[in-house]
Structure 1
Amino acid sequence: MKLPPARYALGIALVCVPLLLALLGPLAAGPAGPRSVSFSVGPGHWLGTDFAGRDVWRQVLLGGRSVVLVALGATLLAYLLALPVGLAAALTRRTWLQEALMRPLDVLIAVPSLLLVLLVAATLTPGPAGLTALVGLAAVPDAARVVYAAAVEVSSRPAVEALRMQGESWWRTALGYVARSLRRTLAADAGIRLTGALYLVATAAFLGVGVEPDAADWAVMVDRNRTGLFLQPWAVVVPALLIAALSMGVNLLFDAALQQGGRRKGART
């Protein structure tokens, strides 16, 4: 069995650390101790305390779940909505239906995702579920365009025409053949889409949208402690590095997987 390439191993390392902290951190955080106004690092406060006197390490353990799970949920929601829309527009022979599906998405693409999230979130109560829905919906237009552009080429293949002539159902043609042919394209796009979701979630949290102002959240930690960066750098540097590591790791893993899949396909041919 071959050892994974260096890029693959690095991607695993970068992804595992923030994921483990996000999933298991709240279980290991323990009860909140007494607050201290001292920023010094020492026993009981291995990363010091933040602007409110809370233990930074405990905030790190508690703050990943909201960012990571919301970004993952938003990415999944975006593809669940974008995939059927893109496939329907690519496979339909009715021009009016294609226009009805894709032209509204073109209008939404012209609106910056962060602006859309800010405008809608202004009328909603802060919460992870609402933020997940907002970020996911904001990513649908771009994801649907990617699915549509890739599916148009696949839908023109003789195999798709043969499936239609055999009377296969739309779902069997779209999901059984076309969607399977898009796996590499969607895998490449998923890394970018998740990175964008992480950026949007972190930025929204940084601006106080979708989370409480004093929530244990990596992005909120960066925002609330940035004024004391030189006095207590760990409260800003650690959560910022964790967000960056997850984003970089995801893209490295997808790149390595795509390269490995390309080598296998080339070896078979």
Structure 2
Amino acid sequence: MTAALPVAAPRPSRRARTTTLVATAALPLLLSLGGPLAAPHRVDTPVTAPFAAPGDGALLGGDQLGRDVLSRVLHGGTPLILGALLVAVVTTVAAVLTGCLAVLRPALGRAVERCADVAILLPPLLGIMLIALAWPGGGRWAVLAAAVILGVPYAVRVVAAAAAPLATAGYVEAALARGESTPYIALREILPNLRATVLTLFGLRFVEAVYVISMAGFLQIGPQPPASDWSLMVRENAPGILLSPWAVLAPSLAIALLAITVNLVTLSLAPDTTAKTVTRS
């Protein structure tokens, strides 16, 4: 008798993996957007001693003013997510339109390339400080504007590099021969073939926006106390991390979990570029 060979367990399908990642990413998003409704205490009301250990009055302890860390974490995600989403949408749309038009108009493409090269050389931290400090009134909108301005040049280069091979495709040349306008060719002929690039770029821009907004909040360039902001919580409670570690760890883990899960979901939703492509006639 021959021993039966062990049968390998079937690998989960791409759809199953995507569903799992989406469900995982939905948890921090729901907690962030719906957190204020579930917060046990008011965000600005002291409920315990400063830097108190976790107890009955505060599940994750108190911050530097004795406010409930859990309540402030539940309140602090909404501004970050909405701001990062706005930055990602504006940056991706601007990059897609500019990149697609640039590959169809060589003169415009060269100008965009030179401007992008110069902008990319600007250190992100210096760029944030220059834009935020020069913005009238500063604040959160200044940080969002800085994130868009710093993110568009890199995104344009990515879109232009992906769209360049498509500009010489047969269906694009046929559209040019028919006398179609440049915006029509960019939006109807080139853009539909950049779905994977655009979706991946959107995820990367969202994660980058989370990084930029969090860094600005940590430097107190954007939101100011007593706002409940994750990055601002890290900055404010850093001196008492040994007394109340969750006051720093909880917002830090929330930022990391948000960025990682959104990035993984975006990559899983992108079309499989290794699949056989269908050539348009």
**Do Structure 1 and Structure 2 share a fold, with TM-score over 0.5?**
yes
- State the Cα distance separating 1:21 from its structure 2 match: 2.2
Check if 1:195 corresponds to 2:195. no
- Which residue is 1:115 aligned to? 126
State which drifts further: 126-135 or 56-65: 126-135
**Paired residues for 1:82-93 under 5 Å:** 82-92=95-105
State which drifts further: 5-14 or 199-208: 5-14
- State the Cα distance separating 1:97 from its structure 2 match: 2.7
Report which structure shows greater RCO (CA 8 Å, sep ≥6).
1
Name the CA shift for 1:108/1:263 in 2 (closer, same or farther; >3 Å). closer
Which residue, out of 67, 77, 86, partners 1:73? 86
Alignment deviations for residues 112-155 of structure 1 (CA, whole Å, 9 cap, x no partner)? 22220111111332433332222112100000001111111111
Check if 1:104 corresponds to 2:122. no
- State the Cα distance separating 1:230 from its structure 2 match: 1.8
Whether the 8 Å contact between 1:77 and 1:137 is mirrored in structure 2 is: no
User: Aligned letter for 1:102?
Assistant: E
Structure with the larger helix share: 1
- Which residue is 1:26 aligned to? 36
**Paired residues for 1:140-159 under 5 Å:** 140-159=152-171
Name the CA shift for 1:80/1:166 in 2 (closer, same or farther; >3 Å). same
User: Aligned letter for 1:66?
Assistant: P
- Which residue is 1:256 aligned to? 268
State which drifts further: 167-176 or 14-23: 14-23
User: Aligned letter for 1:96?
Assistant: A
User: Aligned letter for 1:52?
Assistant: L
Name the CA shift for 1:112/1:53 in 2 (closer, same or farther; >3 Å). same
TM-score w.r.t. length of structure 2 = 0.85
Whether the 8 Å contact between 1:14 and 1:246 is mirrored in structure 2 is: no
Alignment deviations for residues 1-28 of structure 1 (CA, whole Å, 9 cap, x no partner)? x876675355334422321122111233
Whether the 8 Å contact between 2:48 and 2:58 is mirrored in structure 1 is: no
- Which residue is 2:189 aligned to? 177
How much is the aligned-residue C-alpha RMSD, in angstroms?
2.4
TM-score w.r.t. length of structure 1 = 0.89
Name the CA shift for 1:263/1:86 in 2 (closer, same or farther; >3 Å). closer
Structure 2 unpaired stretches of 5+:
1-11
Which residue, out of 10, 16, 38, partners 2:26? 16
- State the Cα distance separating 1:101 from its structure 2 match: 2.4
Whether the 8 Å contact between 1:150 and 1:182 is mirrored in structure 2 is: yes
Whether the 8 Å contact between 1:78 and 1:143 is mirrored in structure 2 is: yes
- Which residue is 1:245 aligned to? 257
Structure 1 unpaired stretches of 5+:
none
Using the aligned pairs only, state the percent identity: 37
Aligned equivalents of 1:89, 1:204: Cα separation in 2: 32
Whether the 8 Å contact between 1:77 and 1:133 is mirrored in structure 2 is: no
User: Aligned letter for 2:132?
Assistant: A
Alignment deviations for residues 15-42 of structure 1 (CA, whole Å, 9 cap, x no partner)? 2232112211123335354443251222
State which drifts further: 140-149 or 68-77: 68-77
Specify the structure having the higher radius of gyration (Cα).
2
